[in-house]
Structure 1
Amino acid sequence: MTPIILLCALASFALGGFGAILGRTPAGRIIVYGGSLAVAGAALLAALVQLGLGVAPEPSVALPLGLPLIGMNFGMNDLSAVFLVITNLGAAAASLYALGYGRHEPEPWRILPFYPVFLAAMNLVLIAADAYDFLIFWELMSLASWALVMAHHEQEETRRAGIIYLLMASAGTLVLLFAFGLLAGPHGHYAFAAMRGMQRAGWIGGIVMLLALAGVGSKAGLVPLHVWLPRAHPAAPSHISALMSGVMTKVAIYAFIRIVFDLAEPAAWWWGLAVLIVGGITAVLGVLYALMEDDLKTILAYSTIENVGLIFVGLGLALAFKADGMMVAAALALTAALFHAFNHMLFKSTLFFGAGAVQHATGERALTKLGGLIHRMKMSTVPMLIAAMAIAALPPLNGFASEWLLLQAILLSPALPQFGLKLAVPAVGALVALAAAFAAACFVRLFGFAYLGKPRSAQAAAAHETDAFSRAAMIGLAALCVVAGVLPGFVIDLLAPVTQALLGAHVPSQRGLSWLTVIPVSASRSSYDPLLIFIFIAVSGSLAALALHRFGSRVIRRAAFWGCGYQGLSDASARDVASSTQYSPSGFAQPIRQVFASVVFRARDDVVMPAPGQLGPASLASSWTDPAWWAIYTPLVTTVGRIADRVNRLQFLTIRRYLAFVFLALVILLAWTALWG
């Protein structure tokens, strides 16, 4: 199947050329997005055939490109196939959505040339068979996505987001370069197959794991490397935001699994501890960030950080179990992580599509300016509700299924022998439970204030439904959220070849179990019956609705709302009072803000109250700061500035001193090379 993916990537590059030529014409949008939909569909089908039929991995395909005598090497195995399914399903949905949404872009020629290149680069990262090709296409993925983020470059906020993203992406690539250099060893074996068979000291594997965690963490959004994500994702067009959040972060997760689980063997128990702690902190802080925000797309961007944290908790558990020889438990944790990566692509892409539809329909993204959209955007409200319930981990949807598997893996942790893990895993489990509760509150807040209640602005009152292409993409992904939630056993079985290849074990087969029950370890420990839960919810909900319609009062009584003591209001004033007397998004999050954000985010509320007898208005101003900025990046920038001022003197040295520096550097390099060899 590797040649098919290569042909799809080549076709994507060709579509990028069409986008550059025809970007200013309506035909360009149809050709690029329609062609991308077809190419992504073909790549998705090839990956599903590889995964579903259990096709044996093919020998790598070499192309006479790139470095002399090395060329470019590509290969596809079960791990690549899983992430190719995630990537191309998300790409197909985004392309379908963009066929309608793209009509509203003011400057489509800034998007169309780079969109298919972005898709091609992500696919080529997943099938790269050596470090050289991996890093080339990793950097191409970063540059193409940066160009897409900068599509609305006229906004100062977008330009700032682009600079931060480019810096973080470049730093991540540099760190991955060092990781691959250590894996290649002194003889420079950059092919993945050669790296797997190498014997290396244990400390090298540990350093590689930490470098991989930092390198892919800057792309995936792990705290404290997340600072670019809540700026870049909202700045991009909505279908690009969906790809960056739902798909590109999964390519980063693939990179971590490929390096740490496949190449940097053998694993030590403290690897899992480090990944667990980072993942747990990321999950809780990500959803706390989301609860503090008012912008619809920024909330979704911060929620991505939370879900990436949950995935890394699963990966950390898998590493810990693997190091102690508990391969079935490791397979369960890795399955939970992969399943949640797939689920996150489904519901987060749907939510970003919905956010784009809301922005186009109202011109607003602030929750304080929305409301009542359920009456004006009836068809697109349904998939948004399903996706919000899925990301809040409500049964029987897919978000609950993967998080339930993760919790089942956590419950197996008492068998771990290390005292540090015995303490850390339950603590991280508590963080996961806390993050799940906060996520439910976050998406009750998002959906409730955007779609329910009265419109809070004239723009929300005049909202209209989105186009048919956008609705089709949202409904398709939302339907898959339901299917993957009700039938998770089929997804778990599809992931079994990956865990078998990486760990030598897999979760017991779920096929043939009565009522499609999910039993991850054994029936005596725990089981989950999503189909029965779905039937119960559907039947009980239908009976309740029928009873209300049959026996409830049919009389509709309309009355004037309470005007806060004001009399004789005009219609416009009445609407303003009606919206202002509703519960506000900041008020909803205030209890959590008071308990957690005052310590974690240095949140503060500045209240100005007029003196007694004065008629001036009272005011409330709230502010908070990201701890990563004041604890890490601000001191780092200050230190770099000071060092740059001192190093600036070097440009005023004489030629003799420059030559002395060059000679000294050469001697050190040769000595290091000799010692390394």
Structure 2
Amino acid sequence: MQDYLLKGLLLSFVFYLGLILLARKNYRGVYLLSGFYAGISFLLSLFFLLFHGSSQAAVFPLGLPGTGAHFRIDSLSAFFLLVVNLASFMASLYGLGYGSHFAEQQRILPFYILFLGSMNMVLLAADMFSFLFFWELMSLSSWALVMSSHKEKETAGAGFIYLLMAVLGTFALLFSMSLLASHSGTFSFEGMSKAALPSKSASLVFALALFGAGSKAGLVPLHAWLPRAHPAAPSHVSALMSGVMTKVAVYGFLRIVFDLLRTQEKWWSYLLLVIAGVSMIAGVLYALMQHDLKRLLAYHTIENIGIVFVGIGLAMAFKTYGMVAASALSFSASLFHVLNHSLFKNLLFLGAGSIQSSTGSRDMEKLGGLVSKMPYTAFAFLMGSMAICALPPLNGFVSEWLLMQSILLSPQLPSWGLKFLVPSIGAFLALSAALAASCFIKVYGITFLGRPRSMSAMAATETDRWSLLALYFLAFLCLLWGVFPAPVLHLLGPAVGLLSGGEYFNLSGKPFYEPLSLNIDRNAYNGLFLILLLGGFSLCILFMVLGKASPYARKTPAWDCGYPENSPFCQYTAGSYAQPIRKVFGPAFFAVKEKVVCLSPWLPKPARIFLRLHDLAWEYGYLPVARTIDRWSAKINILQFLTVRRYLVLVFVTLVVLLLSLALMLQ
């Protein structure tokens, strides 16, 4: 039966590519058929996971001569197919309404089709050539989507940085898989997984895979492109890039390190945990400093990818020391957070797109008071904000709770280094959750509450019905899988078993409403009881307020810090809210340069503050390399102005040097 599932997925991809012929004519038709393609792929992957199908492969006479194109579906690829296509369905549904707000649909639709299809094919590819071909197609199509708004400021720079990092990441994956192929003598994943690599070669494969997949996922310090490229794309594309494409990168890393390599060195988990921990804290701190709504959400993707890789690093540490059950728990937390992040990050990006479509701005300092203008969007955005802050009973809490449960198992590790490192990562996880809550209090308060800060915010109207349908469906899933997480954990169980070595938590015999406990020695989570408890407390508070309150209404001015000025300037701003955190973390993380100009009290002019934040990874890691390349490019540029005779001399000298080098190598 699984043979038909794989062929159905491949056949649906071929038919889906035919939409490119219609892409410039009818955006609603393209989005409808895109949603249909994503829905079919989602159902096929769900069917595979439900019935625990065994891996099934197929080979087609395409790709490299003599090898063919290999495709395969197993529990790991099926789970990520479910993640990709659920989010793609929601983005396509949102695009039905968003398309009417975006003037240049002809720049989006052909590449949108390629983007969705290539992400699916990366997950099905089972040989080196096919994987890298569709990986690069995914990168190039998403770059074209970023450049769809090429007339906007900074878009060209964001597109260039993204393309550069995408190419470097693909080269790293190419060399990583080439090492595996050289030891196995084949380009297929099945043959690569049987190769026995020496320790140094395996470590080099791991490092290259971490660079290649980590740059696409947005791990620090490879993150510099992400907060520039993701906000530049259309909102439903930003949602897919941030919520889905980064998860395809996670899949690539898992496929290489845990499936093709088979064995792991003990020091790999140390490196992975440190990088993931720094990514968590740096991502949320950079997000706190942002005023651009979409850029803030992009930085939060870095934080959540750090959380995912913390789970992977913990699972690797447990697995190398033979603690299979603890490894399975960590993988469960990590994969569940992959799914959860794709939901609430899509919800938040689509909500940000609705705000931008309605107000024409994504600068929080120009928004405010939108809860009365866009009440339905405000409620959906509140649900996404609570989910990303890991507040119960929403889904973000469950995956981080599971991750904390696996961190509590770290004292059983025999390595003293990990006994000290893992609790520190646990403290980082708690700190990142607290900072995320602070950040989204700022986001929601400045954007939706208070008084409108501009005429565009004052004139805002509710978004269209298609967009609201997508927002509320995502919000419903965030609540549903936070209250009843057991069915989802049962679905990802086979993938966890593949990664951890054959052991996972089978929840098929338990009712979905029972408390969730993946380890009998740890606490259980009961989402249904929690939501009933919260509802009961809310009703009690409401009854007490209504019962004890005075029946007489009294109207008074809102508290305004002692200034009776009815002005939007007499309220908190995004910058003033973040100031205390900037004071604490600014010197270490941002190298903050702050200057306050306070004029004489006799002059009727306001005081001004000049503030500059620095992205240290960008300024000290990327800019020096870029400037060096520019200098050498200017020197080498003279080659294009040579005469014909000088070109012939240059070709002759190059040929002689190559022949001499070959002769020396053969001696």
Q: Which residue of 2 aligns with 1:631?
A: 620
How far apart are 1:655 and its partner, in Å?
A: 4.6
How far apart are 1:647 and its partner, in Å?
A: 6.0
Aligned length: 655
Among residues 103, 106, 120, which one is paired with 2:100 in the alignment? 103
Q: Which amino acid aligns with 1:379?
A: Y
For the residue of structure 1 that corresponds to 2:186, the secondary structure is coil
Q: Which residue of 2 aligns with 1:175?
A: 172
Would the aligned equivalents of 2:368 and 2:448 in 1 still touch at CA under 8 Å?
A: yes
1: CA distance between counterparts of 2:342 and 2:354?
Answer: 18
Would the aligned equivalents of 2:368 and 2:446 in 1 still touch at CA under 8 Å?
A: yes
2: CA distance between counterparts of 1:214 and 1:668?
Answer: 34
Q: Which residue of 2 aligns with 1:657?
A: 653
Mind listing any 5+ residue stretches in structure 1 that lack a counterpart?
23-27, 568-573, 672-677
Q: Which residue of 2 aligns with 1:299?
A: 296
2: CA distance between counterparts of 1:93 and 1:329?
Answer: 34
2: CA distance between counterparts of 1:146 and 1:167?
Answer: 10
With structure 1 as the length reference, what TM-score do the two structures score? 0.93
- Alpha-carbon spacing, 1:297–1:665, altered in 2? closer, same or farther (3 Å): farther
Q: Which residue of 1 aligns with 2:119?
A: 122
2: CA distance between counterparts of 1:654 and 1:464?
Answer: 65
2: CA distance between counterparts of 1:445 and 1:61?
Answer: 51
Among residues 537, 542, 545, which one is paired with 1:545 in the alignment? 542
How far apart are 1:420 and its partner, in Å?
A: 2.2
Q: Which residue of 1 aligns with 2:217?
A: 220
How far apart are 1:205 and its partner, in Å?
A: 1.2
Q: Does 1:608 align with 2:597?
A: yes
Q: Which amino acid aligns with 2:582?
A: R
How far apart are 1:515 and its partner, in Å?
A: 5.1
Q: Which moved more, 1:531-540 or 1:34-43?
A: 531-540
Q: How does 1:128-277 map to 2 (within 5 A)?
A: 128-185=125-182, 188-277=185-274
How far apart are 1:128 and its partner, in Å?
A: 0.2
Q: Which residue of 1 aligns with 2:529?
A: 532
1: CA distance between counterparts of 2:311 and 2:494?
Answer: 18
1: CA distance between counterparts of 2:221 and 2:9?
Answer: 35
- Alpha-carbon spacing, 1:614–1:175, altered in 2? closer, same or farther (3 Å): same
Among residues 609, 617, 624, which one is paired with 1:620 in the alignment? 609
How far apart are 1:326 and its partner, in Å?
A: 0.8
Q: Which moved more, 1:611-620 or 1:592-601?
A: 611-620
2: CA distance between counterparts of 1:177 and 1:341?
Answer: 25
Q: Which amino acid aligns with 1:659?
A: L
Q: Which residue of 2 aligns with 1:463?
A: 460
Q: Which amino acid aligns with 1:39?
A: Y
2: CA distance between counterparts of 1:479 and 1:440?
Answer: 21
Would the aligned equivalents of 1:47 and 1:84 in 2 still touch at CA under 8 Å?
A: yes
- Alpha-carbon spacing, 1:507–1:551, altered in 2? closer, same or farther (3 Å): farther
- Alpha-carbon spacing, 1:270–1:585, altered in 2? closer, same or farther (3 Å): same
RMSD: 2.0
Q: How does 1:76-91 map to 2 (within 5 A)?
A: 76-91=73-88
Q: Which residue of 2 aligns with 1:396?
A: 393
Q: Does 1:415 align with 2:404?
A: no
1: CA distance between counterparts of 2:651 and 2:200?
Answer: 41
- Alpha-carbon spacing, 1:266–1:546, altered in 2? closer, same or farther (3 Å): same
2: CA distance between counterparts of 1:310 and 1:168?
Answer: 22
Among residues 588, 592, 596, which one is paired with 2:577 in the alignment? 588
Deviations 1:126-185 (A, max 9, x none): 000111100000000001101111111112311111111111101100110000001111
Q: Which amino acid aligns with 2:202?
A: G
2: CA distance between counterparts of 1:72 and 1:514?
Answer: 41
How far apart are 1:664 and its partner, in Å?
A: 4.0
1: CA distance between counterparts of 2:16 and 2:543?
Answer: 51
Deviations 1:411-458 (A, max 9, x none): 111122222222221121111111111111111111111111111112
Deviations 1:608-654 (A, max 9, x none): 11135333321112110101122211222233345556666888774
Mind listing any 5+ residue stretches in structure 2 that lack a counterpart?
none
How far apart are 1:551 and its partner, in Å?
A: 3.7
Among residues 329, 332, 336, which one is paired with 2:329 in the alignment? 332
- Alpha-carbon spacing, 1:648–1:663, altered in 2? closer, same or farther (3 Å): farther
Q: Which residue of 2 aligns with 1:385?
A: 382
Q: How does 1:534-573 map to 2 (within 5 A)?
A: 534-560=531-557
2: CA distance between counterparts of 1:145 and 1:187?
Answer: 33
Among residues 308, 313, 316, which one is paired with 1:311 in the alignment? 308
Q: Which residue of 1 aligns with 2:91?
A: 94
1: CA distance between counterparts of 2:412 and 2:502?
Answer: 18
Deviations 1:286-316 (A, max 9, x none): 0001000001101100000100010001001
Would the aligned equivalents of 2:484 and 2:512 in 1 still touch at CA under 8 Å?
A: no
2: CA distance between counterparts of 1:299 and 1:669?
Answer: 53
1: CA distance between counterparts of 2:93 and 2:125?
Answer: 27
2: CA distance between counterparts of 1:557 and 1:341?
Answer: 49
Q: Which amino acid aligns with 1:84?
A: L
Q: Which amino acid aligns with 2:653?
A: R
How far apart are 1:578 and its partner, in Å?
A: 2.2
Deviations 1:558-612 (A, max 9, x none): 3456888989xxxxxx6xx521111111111111100002221111221111135
For the residue of structure 1 that corresponds to 2:70, the secondary structure is strand
Would the aligned equivalents of 1:12 and 1:116 in 2 still touch at CA under 8 Å?
A: yes
Would the aligned equivalents of 2:273 and 2:309 in 1 still touch at CA under 8 Å?
A: yes
Among residues 51, 54, 71, which one is paired with 2:52 in the alignment? 54
Deviations 1:366-415 (A, max 9, x none): 11111111111111222111110000000111000000111111111112
2: CA distance between counterparts of 1:489 and 1:607?
Answer: 54
Would the aligned equivalents of 2:95 and 2:236 in 1 still touch at CA under 8 Å?
A: yes
How far apart are 1:514 and its partner, in Å?
A: 9.2
Among residues 6, 9, 13, which one is paired with 2:13 in the alignment? 9
For the residue of structure 2 that corresponds to 1:62, the secondary structure is strand
1: CA distance between counterparts of 2:490 and 2:6?
Answer: 23
For the residue of structure 2 that corresponds to 1:105, the secondary structure is coil
Would the aligned equivalents of 2:315 and 2:500 in 1 still touch at CA under 8 Å?
A: no
With structure 2 as the length reference, what TM-score do the two structures score? 0.95
Q: Which moved more, 1:279-288 or 1:5-14?
A: 5-14
For the residue of structure 2 that corresponds to 1:307, the secondary structure is helix
Q: Which residue of 2 aligns with 1:571?
A: none
Percent of residue pairs identical:
45
Would the aligned equivalents of 1:13 and 1:117 in 2 still touch at CA under 8 Å?
A: yes
How far apart are 1:19 and its partner, in Å?
A: 0.3
